Structure 1
Amino acid sequence: MKNLGKFIVRNVKVITVILILITLVGIYLSTKIVIRPNFLDLLPKDDPYVEVYKKATKNFKSVDNIIIGIEGDKKNIINYINNISEKLKAMDHIDAIYYKQPIEFLEKNLFLLTEDKEQDFFKKIYTSTNIVDFFKALNAIFEENKNGYKMSIQEKYRFEYMLDSFKNLLESIDKNENIEENLKSLLFGEEYLLSKKGNFGLIIIRPTISSNDIEKVVNLVNSIENTIKKEAEKYNVKAGLTGTLVIARDEMVTIERDMSIATIVSIFLIITIFMLGFKSFRYMILAVIPLILGIIWTIGFTQLTVGSLNIMTVMMAAILAGLGIDYSIHMISLFIELRNKGYNIKNSIIGIFEKNIRGIIAGAITTAIGMGIFAISSFPGFKEFGIVLSSGIIFTLLASIFGLTILLYRYGNKYKDPGKIFSINIDISKYRKVILLITILLLIFSFIKIPAVEFEKDMMKIEAKGLESLELNQKILENFNFSPDNTIFINKNIFEARELYNKLKKLKVFYQVDSIVPFLPDKNLQIERIKKAREIKNTKIVKSDLDLNQLKLEINKLNFNILKASISLNLLGYKDLGNKLKEITTSGVLQKIIKKDKDSLNLIQNKIINTILKLKNNLNDKEIITQENLPEDIKSNYLGSNGMIITTAYSNGDIWNSDYQKEYFKELKELNSKDVSGTALIFLKVVQISAEEGKKILLITLLFIFIILILDMKSLKYAILAMIPMILSIIFMLGVMGWFGIKFNVVNIIALPLIIGIGVDDGIHLIHRYRREKNLKTTIFSTGKAITMTTLTTGVAFGSFILSKYRGFAGFGVLLLLGVIFSYIITIFVITSILSYEKPKSKKSNDKYLFKKRRA
């Protein structure tokens, strides 16, 4: 190593030119780097979910939706929806806007689209000649059916909505207002996408861009957000955005903000620590320059090899700031120490290479291995992380060895005695028994709770707190009983799509299945149903006089049927539905209708029958529905290029909840569909692979580092000693996680190899210096200061992540800070306590480069 120092000193000019050229190339390449925060990029390209997702984005204009959530009064929400939808249609990159059902199409083709078991009810409604017939038809809803009210999850939600619509219809009949609107709502559902209470509305936007084009996504989401919020004020409603693309935008903005703050804070604190430790602005600048060079080279190399930064590698600059500065600290600390002893600049530099560089290189290599093992992972997220961070460690090491050496040679003529700050001057042998006893106790307490450490399966818990997009996600789940995080299926033709749809309807985990199938019933079924539609349409309605006694009997019968249905539903466990029915009878609305005078009832009857006449006259009784004659706004939702059909299923629970996931994946596995994907599935796959790969990589990393330590130290004893800080720090960290309920996640799992590198690094420096000095007190005093400073700089660099709004980064910072602190404490106290049991050996000074009374 001494010869390397001499070589650099002899070739300062040539090496300087080479470093400048490399840096200029690095700066040029750095300007071309892009950030990809999409989790899709973390999975292998041949992963089934990725392949299906890419196939979907290729064959359909859009897979990911932007959802507008609107809160306020029902009338205001509807007015706002109508207004804002027109404005949004005029915007670029928007393919379609879905804000209400195709009611006209449903009205026209009711009997072609309705399932056979519901045909009798609609027939009774459409052939009603008076209000008595109408109530007879309503009675049919609550007469005991063959299934005894046993319902699938989708049927339950539809029945629940029907009960709300039924109650609203009765109330409108009682008040003699909005009867037509509420009758249509009962028959065809709510026209607009409104919650049951009507105080929350949705608009679903289908853009023409995917989450992979992040720059366009950010611009589009920002544009939509500005428009909807500005208009919301005019209608006295509150509007916000959610959906996959919105969350991707929020992640991008949050990550950029967090990285900027973390970098600024860490640099400021590192400078402060440096100034306190060396009391020299000059040496602080000299230390930072190689770090900056190393980061520039790394970004340039990343652009050449990977091409971009993902959600993991985007932390690269902050991580390197914490690790890369360590090499400069160790070099400058010894340089100033030798200068204070009387060495000139040249011999001080050679002294660094003789005493310190081997330990620095060994520490850097072990840290680089800790990062580099990730490169062998089949998980692209980890693979890229390994490539970027391991190369970054090597580049910052090279920048320090060559760049800092040249800087010290040119500008190391001025220095001052930094004093004893950060120096450690203790006789460890006096406290070694107590230290080792405390260590054993801490190990016992840690092992007790390590089994309690879990992997976080809720991806939303690594997102930033307070994001409107995430809050709206939860509100949609509460108001509509479905999660916006959907699952998509792709089929080649309508026959496959129909088979899939029938299977999906039977699954308990899906609230709603959005498919083209309900709009395209089987051709033979349609032929039979169109005959019924023709028969009903040709049935003449002759208005008859109102029979009050008959009406009273029918309403009382309805009241009895409702009570009976309520009891049945409660017995079957549908207490919420049973209570809804009970509320109708206890409200007295049916008795109020009975007590109305004949004139009022005649007016109500006319409104009901006139509405039915309009609906009946509009019925399609001639033409069956085909894929070709479907309305374009319906067809475009489901049909892609090459005749492919997309089906979207919305889960009825929080897909990020680990308990719900078990049932979700169980049913999805039983479905045995190959062409399935979705953003949520991709997220969950990332979590699964992270947990599996993390364990495998951790074991391989430990093995490789141990081999490197044996080769470096040529001693099994010292290799094991160097491993102890890392092993104990991980055990203690896991213990803290277990005691305080901290979970691993897809982001903070990468703290483990960093802790391995940091823990080994401290031990390597201490043991290398001890073996050279053969004096523990001298080793602790000299190298201990450098280790203390590197611990502080690394700690503040990683600790700055705790300030992040993105909780994944904050958790990452917490684990790294714990690892750094434990590694330092164990190195300084535990390792030195063990070394203190070795018999001291006298050693003559090898400071043969000392020049008394002569300083350059």
Structure 2
Amino acid sequence: MTDPTTTPRTISARLIAKLESGLAFLSLLCFRRPWIALGILALLTVGAAQAARQRLSLNADLAELLPSSFESVKDLETLKQRYGGIGYVGVVASHAEPDVLRRFVDDVAPRVDALASVRSVDYRKPTQFLRDHALYYLDLDDLKIVHNRLRTRFDFEVAKRNPMMLDFDDEEPPSVDLSDIEKKYEARSDQAWMRTQLDDEYYIDVEKRRIALLAKPSKMSVDLAFSRQIVGEIQQVIQQSEPTHYDPNLQVQYGGNFTKKVDQQDMIEKDLNTGTIVALVLMVAYLLLHFRRVGAVALIMIPLVMGLSWVFGFAAIVYAQLNILTGFIGAILLGLGVDHGIYLLGRFREQWQGRDAAEDAIRIAFGNTGRAVLIAAFTTAVGFAGLGMSEFRAFREFGVIAAFGLLLVVVAYLTCMPALLAVAVRMGWQPRSAKAVQQSLYARLLAKRPGLLLTVFTAFLVFSMPWVSKLEFNTNFRALTAANLPSFQLDSVIDGLLGHSQTPVVVLTENREQSRFVATTLRERKAASDSSTIHLVATGDDILPDQQMEKQTIIQDMRKMIDRLASEKMGPDDRRKVDRMKRLVAAEPFDRQQLPDALGRMFFPDRKDVGDFVLVYSSVDLSDGANVSRFAKEVRGIELPQGGHASAAGEPMILADIFDLVMQEGPPVLIGTVLLIFLTMWVLMGKFWRACMALFPAMVSLVATFGLLGLLRIELNYLNIVLIPVLVGTGVDGGVHMLTRGASLDLVNAADRASVPIFGALATTALGFGTLLMAHHLGLNSLGSLAVVGLAANLFASLVGLPSLLLVVQRWRATRA
């Protein structure tokens, strides 16, 4: 027969009892030795804060969201090592006449180029060079056709001058028109990039009166200090050039990778700083209203700040950098952490019977309620740890920091708050007494009409469920950026002036033959599909044509014929064509050393060997995840004849991997996280039904949240999706505390007493996240939107759904018994 003292339920009860007694012992130890406890905690806090200040930084680079083992990350690093900085500082001048704009960039370009931080300046296309050397870019057979036409015209002109040939007077002279040849090459994909260089010598839009100048830095934009330096130096050069002296209306804007990095970093820091200050002010105001004691605010906020310092110290030691997701960990833990302080101090106030019984109040508050706090925090931490299993670096680091961070905040409350209470009580402070009053309207309604409340909540849930299907996931990466900043909006303007994207994908190859093979393959892929994502393909092989010596022989023969033609006797149209032909045949063969700087820098950095990369420009908006994934599939995986495959490098490849990884891992990771939370809750609560009831507010409010998001057209994205375990955690908090109170009181009184701290905890969390709605950064703003909707659903489920369900079930069981 099984020993009843060893059943799983009894073992669980024993563990819970030991946990409660252990927490009571720890809190009493800190209460009895407050100065020793505070001294040790202060040393830990100072050390953590120092580590965070010295080592921790924020890096909003999207490449930081993936593990370094990913091929796209490795390829990007290879690209940086080979060719230095990627991207530009873009300068766009506007609102002046085209001639004024050209003069302005002609003047400022040499000054920008003289900066030590600038590797090169690109503001004029190699238009004249490409036009003058057009014959060398023809295939040998086509050049022979042009030669034959010229020979025919030459023979006609010679014969016409011969006095013996009298019948030429009425004969139409053979044409030297090359329009058919030009049309043929306009349709060729290997000439597409060069055609973008032939319209105007400047990157200018005459109609819209805009012109662009691109400065290529000598380092990478990952170095934030360098990015600030070069952007500042270029802005200073432009300001010293006094643009309004060229035209009073002339305006200058700045864009490009480096400018965007600086602007986004500044916006994130400003939004976070502003949001944190406003959140703290609102939290303090609410805590004053809730506890009616100034000291209560200090008792809650000091351990919270201490715990957050430990969290950032932990992050500094383990990761050294925060990415665009983990950068918000402070705001998230601020909202979650303050809940625990409200629960603990609220229970202490409730148990306070005077200074002589202070230790009893500590024992109950930090033993019983402390157990509920620790169970809720540990369960939420397990949920965060589930994200830590993801291969997606952003999720993994967020999960690890959030899990450990939440537990550190709880440890700060369980140790620091009792010590602070001891000091406060000895100085004569005491909490505002919890007066014995009649049941609240909430409790009376719950006692009389639990079925009605459950019906209302069920109706709310049923109403929200159909809208879940309307919830969308925003795959546009602009949701992660400060896309509303002028430097981000200037991207499309600069791309339009260039005729293509500023930052193509670079396919890395080892030699000219590989480059030619890759370029041909990509062009074939583009031609094979009307839905191809490829716009242009360009390589050094395109601008260094083959068979130049053979072509030179033909061109020299053409020059001799041109020189002997008497163009002054021709009609205006023929004379113009012959004059153009004279310029064409005057060109000489060339190699990479003789290319204009604009071409040489683009295809042969530092005049390195020919053909070690191919530039691929997209025809679709690469800020959209689905588009960038299609583009990556089309550009990647080209098998080389010699074996192996060509690697495609660039930020779009990073974005494609992020999209694919989130789509692949997101659902199973989130489902696994919820299952881990449930299993943990089952173990800690001891009973299956208690675990289900504790999770009830979290699960039903999550369904309601998704429905409300669909109704309000608030989208999930790569950033705010990490709030899902946060919302589960806040729901678990409410459920655990309601059930913990219900174990020692009847359900109505338990709900009545638990409702105030539950409301306070969720309200302060909502205040913390709600301030993000003021953020200009789209990612931060989306966090605030999702949090406010989710916390409102949590509050309804915790204070209406769960207690009414428990009471209905309890009374149903009683009637059956």
**Same fold by TM (over 0.5)?**
yes
Are 1:266 and 2:241 an aligned pair? no
Residues 367 and 754, structure 1, Cα contact 8 Å, conserved in 2: yes
Following superposition, the deviation at residue 91 of structure 1 comes to 1.4
**8 Å contact 1:40–1:50 — kept in the other structure?**
yes
1:427 to 441, 445, 451: 445
Secondary structure of the structure 2 residue equivalent to 1:64: coil
CA distance in 1: counterparts of 2:245 and 2:149, whole angstroms = 41
Note if contact 2:135-2:584 (Cα within 8 Å) is conserved in structure 1.
no
For residues 316 and 713 of structure 1, do their structure 2 counterparts lie closer, same or farther at Cα, with a shift above 3 Å needed?
same
* 1:292 partnered with 2:305: yes
Q: CA deviation at 1:700?
A: 1.6
Distance 1:776 1:406, change over 3 A: same
SS at match of 2:273: helix
Q: 2:209 aligns with which of 191, 194, 199?
A: 199
Structure 1 position 748 matched with structure 2 position 702? no
1:141 corresponds to: 179
Which residue in the other structure is 1:699 paired with?
Answer: 671
Residues 440 and 752, structure 2, Cα contact 8 Å, conserved in 1? no
SS, match of residue 617 in structure 2: strand
CA distance in 1 between counterparts of 2:211 and 2:334 reads: 47
Relative to structure 1, the CA distance from residue 609 to residue 350 in structure 2 (aligned partners, 3 Å threshold; closer, same or farther) is: same
Letter of the 2:42 partner, please give it: I
TM-score (norm 1): 0.81
Cα shift at 1:405: 0.9
Q: Counterpart amino acid of 2:689?
A: K
- Aligned residue number for residue 224 of structure 2: 214
CA distance in 1, matches of 2:441, 2:298: 22
Give distance in 2, aligned partners of 1:803 and 1:135.
75
- Corresponding residue pairs, total: 750
TM-superposed CA distance for 1:648, in Å, is 2.3
Letter in 1 for 2:112: L
2:308·2:409 contact (CA, 8 Å) conserved in 1?
Answer: yes
Show structure 1 runs of 5+ residues with no match. Answer: 162-184, 556-604, 842-856
Deviations 1:460-492 (A, max 9, x none): 244335311222122345555533342111111
Identity level (%) = 20
Question: Match of 1:25?
Answer: 47
- In the other structure, the counterpart of 2:753 is 782
Task: Pick from 549, 557, 571 the counterpart of residue 535 of structure 1.
Answer: 557
* Distance in 1 separating the partners of 2:621 and 2:141: 32
CA–CA separation in structure 1 for the residues paired with 2:239 and 2:146: 42
Question: 1:742 offset after TM fit, Å?
Answer: 2.4
Separation in 2, partners of 1:122, 1:204: 38
| Deviation, structure 1 residue 371 | 1.7
Give structure 2 stretches of 5+ with no counterpart.
1-19, 158-170, 527-531, 640-644, 813-817
Equivalent positions of 1:524-673 (< 5 A) are: 525-539=547-561, 540-546=563-569, 613=582, 616-617=585-586, 619-620=587-588, 623=589, 625-627=590-592, 630=595, 634-639=599-604, 643=609, 645-657=612-624, 660-661=627-628, 664-665=631-632, 667-669=634-636, 671=638
Q: CA deviation at 1:410?
A: 1.1
Alignment of 1:451 with 2:459, yes or no, is: no
Secondary structure in 2 aligned to 1:414?
Answer: coil
Q: Residue type of the partner of 2:620?
A: G
Matched, 1:53 2:64: no
Q: Relative to structure 1, is the Cα distance of residues 386 and 137 closer, same or farther in structure 2, using a 3 angstrom cutoff?
A: farther
Equivalent position amino acid for 1:686 in 2: I
**d(CA) in 2 for partners of 1:329, 1:122:** 87
| Distance change (3 Å), C-alpha of 1:78 and 1:116 | farther
User: Residues 65 and 394 of structure 2 are in contact (CA less than 8 Å); yes or no, is this contact kept in structure 1?
Assistant: yes
Look up the match of 2:784: 813
CA displacement at 1:814 relative to structure 2:
1.0
Aligned 8 A contact 2:377 2:407 in 1? yes
What do residues 772-821 of structure 1 show as CA deviations (whole Å, max 9, x unaligned)?
A: 22x12221222211111111100010111111111111111111111111
CA-to-partner distance for each residue in 1:575-606, whole Å, 9 max, x for gaps? xxxxxxxxxxxxxxxxxxxxxxxxxxxxxx5x
Where 1:356 maps in the other structure, the secondary structure is helix
AA in 2 matched with 1:20: A
Change (3 A) 1:515 1:110: same
CA distance in 2 between counterparts of 1:660 and 1:135 reads 54
Greater mean alpha carbon deviation, residues 26-35 or residues 227-236: 227-236
- Is the 2:737–2:754 Cα contact (8 Å) retained in structure 1? yes
How far 1:544 moved relative to its partner? 4.1
2:67 matches 1:100:
no
CA displacement, residues 280-338 of structure 1 (integer Å, 9 cap, x when unaligned): 11110121100110111111111111111111111122112111111111111111222
Listed as ranges, the matches of 1:366-381 within 5 Å are 366-381=379-394
Worse overlay, 681-690 or 491-500: 681-690
Match of 1:721 among 686, 693, 705: 693
CA contact (8 A) 2:84 2:218 kept: yes
Letter in 1 for 2:244: E
* 1:760 lines up with 2:770 in the alignment: no
Cα shift at 1:633: 5.7
Q: What does residue 589 of structure 1 align with?
A: none
Deviations 1:72-128 (A, max 9, x none): 432122112211211111113211112122356435643323445764797699999
- Any idea what SS the aligned residue of 1:283 has? helix
Moved more, 5-14 or 730-739: 5-14
Distance 2:194 2:132 in 1: 21
* Secondary structure of 1:209's aligned partner: coil
Q: 2:662 matched to which residue of 1?
A: 690
Q: Tell me the alpha carbon deviations over residues 539-594 of structure 1, each in whole angstroms, 9 at most, x when there is no partner.
A: 2243345566xx6xx79xxxxxxxxxxxxxxxxxxxxxxxxxxxxxxxxxxxxxxx
Q: 1:101 to 1:438 in 2, by over 3 A?
A: same
Specify the code of the residue in structure 2 equivalent to 1:234: H
Q: Is 1:792 the counterpart of 2:759 in the alignment? A: no
Q: Per the alignment, do residues 545 and 307 of structure 1 end up closer, same or farther by CA in structure 2, a change over 3 Å counting?
A: closer
Residues of 2 paired with 1:782 and 1:816: CA distance? 25
CA RMSD of aligned residues (A): 3.3
Greater shift in the superposed pair: 321-330 or 410-419: 410-419
In the alignment, the residues of structure 1 paired with residue 522 and residue 288 of structure 2 have an alpha-carbon distance, to the nearest angstrom, of 65
Amino acid paired to 1:19? L
Report what 1:771 is aligned to: 743
Secondary structure of 1:376's counterpart equals coil
CA pair 224-547 structure 1, distance change in 2 beyond 3 A: closer
| 8 Å contact kept, 1:481–1:652 | no
